[in-house]
Amino acid sequence: MQGLWRRLTTAVIFVVIMVAGHYTGEYTFSALFLIITGGCLWEFFGMTLDLHTRRDKIRKALGVALGLMPFVLVTALSLLKVKEPENFITLASLLFSPFVFTIFIYELYSNSKEPFANIAFMVLGLFYIGVPFALLDFIAFDGENNFNGRVVLGLLVLTWVNDTGAYLTGSLIGKTPLFPRISPNKTWEGTTGGFITTIVFGYLLSLIFHEIPLVQWVGLAVIVAVFGGLGDLVESMLKRSVGVKDSGNLLPGHGGLLDRFDAFIFVIPFASAYLLYLR
């Protein structure tokens, strides 16, 4: 019972922070997701990199800084109202590219026995976590760079609903394993329940948040139902490969930040591409 109350307390505090971050303006929103991105990167490199020496810890900090760079650059350009897509992409690429090579330079001088693996893990963290969170700005800011965090909040709600719906349905009637090699407890019945629940909530969100029409909310719900589950499986695969149960312990009863945002990270690229295509 004590564990349940701990989970509920953590969940309530977490939800309040997330809702406040979306309703208090673009600067609060950007600061909130900067912290979340950095936390996810910190946990990811904590799982994948050896941290026995001071140089290892510097490598981890470098990986986090590099992974944050896309989010920082894209957010800065959005806040500065750089509107033309070609200018936006060109500026972001030119500013970011030099930073990528710092990891190669660091490995050159760090005298590491496994420079190839270290570089690979840092680049993986960049593209697995850093780039998706940077793409979040294309959802939070419209074509005129006007901020509206409610679409992002709705996307988060759909992600949580999908996870909860799948868990509850699977607990009640789940029998057929979905992916036993990676996640023995996930079932096809649970996945189907999560899919249906997410579509229903997509419709309900269209009645509350009018920034995008019903058809787009339903489209986002389908994206969440498909790719959210895959994101959860991918993180489970990565954790199994390094022998850990949770990515961290920041959220009592829930694990780490990466455990809470693994599905959302996978949803962002597909959701942003979908909404950009429809603009």
Per-residue pLDDT 10s for the chain (279 aa) are 455 466 667 767 877 888 887 788 899 999 999 999 999 999 999 998 877 778 888 999 999 999 999 899 888 888 877 655 556 666 667 777 778 888 899 999 988 888 999 999 999 999 999 999 999 988 998 777 778 889 999 999 999 999 989 989 998 998 898 988 998 889 999 999 999 999 999 999 999 999 899 999 999 999 999 999 999 999 999 999 988 888 887 776 668 899 999 999 999 999 999 998 887
Question: Residues near 65 by Cβ (< 8 Å), separated by ≥ 6?
Answer: none
The beta strands (E) that lie in the chain are given as: 177-179, 183-187
- Listed in sequence order, the residues at least 6 apart from 69 whose beta carbon sits closer than 8 Å to its beta carbon are 96, 99, 130
Helix boundaries (H) for 24-114: 26-48, 54-79, 85-100, 102-110
All structural domains of the chain with their residue ranges? 26-148, 149-279
| Residues sharing a CB contact under 8 Å with residue 209, sequence separation 6 or more, in sequence order | 150, 151, 153, 154, 217
Considering the entire predicted model, what is its pTM?
Answer: 0.90
